[in-house]
């Protein structure tokens, strides 16, 4: 077993000791695998695809992503995207706002203002500080990047409706929990909040 698999196994044992309601969820739902396997996309590609996916269906996101990949001769890289005009970017089906976001991300990557090679050595909040100033990249997008691309284990995305819904279902809440209240409840899970979020997602 890899170190991360062992770490996740320890976390799965620890979470129900803090909040027993998660015991059945951890036993019966798909196990969390954050950071176990290497990402299939580069960090840049992951963020570009996250931007493409904002407020569109999964099918539409795949179509637009496929068109962009075709425009980039089979590989979405900063250099290839940077060589496209804004009109060409919009032509793959992106909105004007998404074109601006992808363009800013691309230019920041090419200039070194965003240096993905440094990310393994940066804390979560430092990565937030690097990405949030870019137009169209909000907290939720960075949180998903930290969790699913970087495999960070202590991200608590209380702004995610599915996380809150899963929490409510697991705890049989009559009234929907507010993000601020859930943020405070997450403090007891410090160091493993991404994993708790995983089981909330799976339960939602």
Which CATH number characterizes residue 49's domain?
1.10.340.30
On whether both 105 and 163 belong to a single domain, the answer is no
Query: What are the residue ranges in the chain where pLDDT is below 70?
Result: 1
Please pick, among 103, 160, 168, 183, the residue that the annotation labels catalytic: 160
Q: Tell which residue, 138, 114, 144, 135, has the closest CA to residue 126.
A: 114
Residue 35: the pLDDT is 94
Residue ranges making up the domain that contains 166: 3-34+154-203
Torsional class of 55: left (φ above 0), alpha (ψ -120 to 50), beta (otherwise):
left
Per-residue pLDDT tens over the stretch 37-80: 999 999 999 999 999 998 899 999 999 999 999 999 999 999 99
Tokens 């137009």 map to which residue? 135
Q: 127: burial class by Cβ within 10 Å (0-12, 13-18, 19+)?
A: buried
Instruction: Report which of 137, 74, 70, 146 is spatially closest to residue 109, judged by C-alpha positions.
Output: 137
The whole-number pLDDT of residue 199 equals 98
CA distance 102 to 78: 10
Question: What does the pLDDT look like over 129-140, one tens digit per residue?
Answer: 999 999 999 999
Q: Tell me, what's the pLDDT at 2? A: 81
Q: Are residues 67 and 136 in the same domain?
A: yes
Domain count, the chain: 2
Element (H, E) at 45: helix 43-53
Collapsed DSSP state (helix, strand, coil) of residue 170: helix
Contact between 77 and 84 (Cβ < 8 Å): no
Rounded to the nearest 10°, the torsion over CA 135, 137, 139, 145 is: -150
Nearest to 159 by CA among 175, 178, 146: 178
Residues 48 and 73 placed together within one structural domain of the fold: yes
- Confidence (pLDDT) at 6: 96
Please state, in angstroms and rounded to a whole number, the distance separating the CA atoms of residues 157 and 163: 7
Do 22 and 7 share a structural domain?
A: yes
Question: Is 19 known to be catalytic?
Answer: no
Pair 88, 141 in one domain: yes
Q: Which of 168, 170, 148 is nearest to 158 (CA)?
A: 168
Q: From 149, 170, 192, give the residue that closes a domain.
A: 149
């Amino acid at each position: 077993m890899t170190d991360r698999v062992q770490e996740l196994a320890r976390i799965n044992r620890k979470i129900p000791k803090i909040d027993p309601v998660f015991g059945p969820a951890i036993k019966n739902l798909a196990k969390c695998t954050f950071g176990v396997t290497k990402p299939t996309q580069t960090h840049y590609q992951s963020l570009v695809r996250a931007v493409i996916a904002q407020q569109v269906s999964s099918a539409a996101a795949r179509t637009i992503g496929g068109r962009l990949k075709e425009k980039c001769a089979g590989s979405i890289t900063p250099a290839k995207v940077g060589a496209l005009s804004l009109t060409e970017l919009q032509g793959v089906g992106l909105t004007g706002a998404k074109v601006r976001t992808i363009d800013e991300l691309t230019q920041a990557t090419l200039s070194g203002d965003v240096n993905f090679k440094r990310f393994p050595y940066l804390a979560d909040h430092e990565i937030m500080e690097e990405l949030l100033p870019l137009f169209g990249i909000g907290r939720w997008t960075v949180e998903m990047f930290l969790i699913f691309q970087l495999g960070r284990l202590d991200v608590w995305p209380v702004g995610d409706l599915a996380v809150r819904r899963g929490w409510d279902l697991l705890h049989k809440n009559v009234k929907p929990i507010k993000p601020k209240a859930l943020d405070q409840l997450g403090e007891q899970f410090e160091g493993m909040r991404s994993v708790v979020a995983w089981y909330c997602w799976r339960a939602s």
